Amino acid sequence: MTKRIALVTGGTGGIGTSICKRLHDDGYQVIAGYYSGGQHEKAQAWQDQLKSEGYDIALAYGNIRDYESCEACIEGIKKDFGTVDVLVNNGGITRDTTLRKMTPGHWDDVIATNLTSVFYMTRLVINDMLEKKWGRIVNISSINGEKGQFGQANYSAAKAGMYGFTKAVAQEVASKGITVNTVSPGYIATSMIMDVPEEIREQIRQGIPVGRFGAPEEIARVVSFLSAEDGGFITGANISANGGQYMH
């Protein structure tokens, strides 16, 4: 059997890198989607670094908040590799501020990048999955989509919106061999968290029952589980991976 093709948006980030590595280890042909403000050299350096570690991961450029750019990205993948079997919608940004200070730009940027992109990318791969009668879609949400977070009305709304999208699409394609699920990480030890001042970081850590931040590899493990050939009976679900910080 030829390798399944897995596309990870935001693939060159902290969690995205671990997801790419794990799916590569699982035997997929992995493609890391990136935008990075058009910094192609940065993505190339990332690819070279992973290659030195034994990971042969392709790159696909695209602005996930622009439909035509997403379309060009998917068409390029189909031309070079074939149709996408596993889509991990992992790309996202933050524009944190309280609601009274939030501008329409703060709102629109986050909703477009974190939520509308999920529609764009899923819409562009779903017909090929339906034709194959097999597919895995994993949407990376957040603990703050589940419980909300001060100063993140835009981010929390976008991440919460993923749940409704996931459950609706899961019902549409469940009989066709396609699963659609969500993963909601808590605080993960990526550069975003480790760059927070130590005293604030310690306050966050103390609120996590397991007593530590998560590792990106632990989120990748959940994505691997949901993407597996024998994972077809789990769909429309959300898996919280937050060290017990939010239980429901």
* Residues with active-site annotation: 155
How far from chain centre, in Å, is Cα 4? Answer: 18
Answer left, alpha or beta for residue 177, where phi above 0 means left and psi between -120 and 50 means alpha: left
As a whole number of angstroms, the distance between CA 71 and CA 64 comes to: 9
